[in-house]
């Protein structure tokens, strides 16, 4: 007897629904998932990584959304902090439900932001990290 | 909108008190949803309430359990191996809310500050909200109704306010509310 879960794909679908949305695209912060290679040349961009490492309850998930923010190095951290604020605006306390009948992804209201210094593979970029915890609640079926 | 239909954390839950120009709003003659909703028509943000305005208890860290507690009475039944349970009269519950203490909201002369220990009965509303209502917190379609919501009304008094000064965290306060009625709800709008 198999039991289809689709929770990991469902979690990604919820997160993609934000970064595909018109309001986010209008913010003009290019945001890619880890493992995606873009041909675009951007002065600032972000790469996100979904870690559902922590166990949730029953059919649910719990984890952290890690986002690396890259801005030009040498101009200070203010722009990176402003980008982190934009991520907060859309993520902190937000709920995403591409299939609300089955599951929702709910982000915590707390988040963290750390300036990491020049990127290891490209010193012209300043790397900083933004992290926010999420819960993926799945209804029992 | 509708009742909350998904599993989730009530991160935007809210406790509010109804006021009018002279103090806490009197309980309506009939505790119906429509009458109670009318008391929470507009949020008061300047500490000078007018009729049908409400003030949110802000900066809450922790809510207690909300609802009417049971009072189960065990009844031994002769000749049976299992006793029966019947519902008795419930004790009047009290609840404590922990909040980050901001003195401007609780100072003497402010609407909420003057309620503490006054013995005045007020109308409370507790709203369970998993996401922020974009239209504000009024009991209307354009307020709480802008997101999925579930809320309750009850009559109560704010009996005490105890401030805990903190050297390493926010100053905190615990307010104790005693209930004077059953809890009406759950409603949605």
Q: What is the DSSP string of B119-181?
A: ---EEEEEEEESS--TT-SSSSTTTGGGS-EEEEEEEEEEEEEEEE--SSS--EEEEEEEE-S
Cβ distance of A139 and B6 shorter than 8 Å: yes
Say yes or no to pLDDT of B69 above 80.
no
Q: Is B130 on the interface with A (CB under 8 A)?
A: yes
Q: Does B72 touch chain A (CB under 8 A)?
A: no
**Chain B residue with minimal CA distance to A105?**
B8
Structure tokens given for A92:
């902190």
Among partner residues B5, B6, B11, which is closest to A93 by beta-carbon distance? B11
DSSP annotation string for A71-132: EETTS-SHHHHHHHHHHHHHHTT-EE-TTTTTEEEEEEEEEEEEEEEEETTEEEEEEEEEEE
* ∠ CA A97-A99-A104, rounded to 5°: 40
Chain B residue closest to A97 (CA)? B6
B123: which strand partners?
B155
Q: Give the pair of three-digit tokens for residue B43.
A: 């949020």
Under DSSP, is residue B185 helix (H, G, I), strand (E, B) or coil?
strand
Verify whether the Cβ–Cβ distance B8 to A93 is below 8 Å: no
Nearest CA in chain B to A60: B7
- Reported as a pLDDT band with limits 50, 70 and 90, residue A4 is confident
Place of tokens 């012209």: A124
Site from A91, A106, A109 to mutate, B interface, most B CB atoms within 10 angstroms: A106
Tell me the three state secondary structure of residue A16: helix
> Alpha-carbon distance A92 to A86, whole Å?
10
Share of chain B above pLDDT 70, in %: 100
Q: 3-class DSSP state for residue B56?
A: strand
Q: How far is residue B55 from each of residues A10, A45, B29, B33, B156, measured CA to CA in Å? A: 39, 42, 21, 19, 15
Determine the pLDDT at residue B93: 78
Per-residue pLDDT tens over the stretch A92-136: 999 999 887 889 999 999 999 999 999 998 899 999 999 999 999
Closest CA to A133 of A103, A105, A111, A116: A111
Nearest residue of chain A to residue B11 (CA atoms)? A93
The domains found in chain A, sorted by start residue, are: 7-138 (3.30.2000.20)
Please give, rounded to a whole number of angstroms, the shortest distance from the CA of B131 to a CA of chain A: 7
Q: What is the largest CA-CA distance in chain A?
A: 58
Question: Residue B152 CB: number of other CB atoms within 10 A?
Answer: 19
| CB–CB contact A100 B6 (8 Å) | yes
- Distance from the Cα of residue B179 to its chain's centroid: 10
Residues 6 or more apart whose CB falls under 8 angstroms from that of A37 comprise none
pLDDT in tens, B120-138: 999 999 999 999 999 999 9
How far is A58 from A135, CA to CA, in rounded Å?
Answer: 12
A127–chain B Cβ distance below 8 A for any pair: no
Dist. CA A18–CA A96, nearest whole Å: 8
- A47 is written with which tokens? 């790469």
What's the pTM?
0.86
Given this model, what pLDDT does residue B94 score? 82
Q: CB contact, 8 Å: B12 with chain A? A: yes
- Give the pLDDT mean for B97-119: 94
Provide the shortest C-alpha distance from residue A126 to chain B (in Å): 32
């Amino acid at each position: 007897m198999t039991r289809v879960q689709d929770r990991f794909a469902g979690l990604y679908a919820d997160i993609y629904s934000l970064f595909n949305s018109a309001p986010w695209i209008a913010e003009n912060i290019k945001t890619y998932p880890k493992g995606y290679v873009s041909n675009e040349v951007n002065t600032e961009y972000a790469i996100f990584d979904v870690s559902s490492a922590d166990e949730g309850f029953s059919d649910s998930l719990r984890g952290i959304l890690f986002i690396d923010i890259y801005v030009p190095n040498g101009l200070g951290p203010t722009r990176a902090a402003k980008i982190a604020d934009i991520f907060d605006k859309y993520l902190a306390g937000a709920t995403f439900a591409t299939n609300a009948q089955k599951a929702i992804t709910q982000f915590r209201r707390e988040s963290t932001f750390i300036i990491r210094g020049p990127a290891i593979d490209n010193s012209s970029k300043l790397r900083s990290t933004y992290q926010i915890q999420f819960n993926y609640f799945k209804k029992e079926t | 909108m509708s009742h909350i239909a998904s599993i989730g954390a009530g991160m935007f839950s809210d406790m509010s008190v109804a006021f009018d120009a002279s103090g806490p709003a009197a309980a309506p003659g009939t505790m119906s949803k429509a009458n109670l909703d009318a008391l929470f028509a507009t949020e008061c943000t300047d500490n000078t309430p007018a009729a049908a305005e409400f003030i949110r208890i802000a900066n809450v860290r922790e809510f207690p359990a909300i609802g009417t507690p049971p009072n189960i009475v065990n009844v031994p039944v002769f000749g049976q191996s299992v006793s029966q349970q019947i519902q008795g009269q419930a004790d009047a519950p009290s609840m404590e809310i922990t909040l980050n203490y901001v003195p401007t909201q609780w100072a003497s002369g402010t609407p909420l500050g003057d309620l503490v220990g006054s013995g005045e009965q007020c109308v409370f509303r507790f709203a369970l909200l998993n996401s922020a209502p974009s239209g504000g917190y009024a009991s209307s379609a354009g307020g709480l109704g802008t997101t999925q919501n579930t809320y309750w009304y009850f009559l109560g008094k704010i009996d005490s306010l105890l401030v805990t000064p903190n050297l390493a965290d926010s100053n905190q306060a615990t307010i104790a509310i005693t209930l004077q009625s059953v809890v009406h709800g759950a409603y949605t709008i």
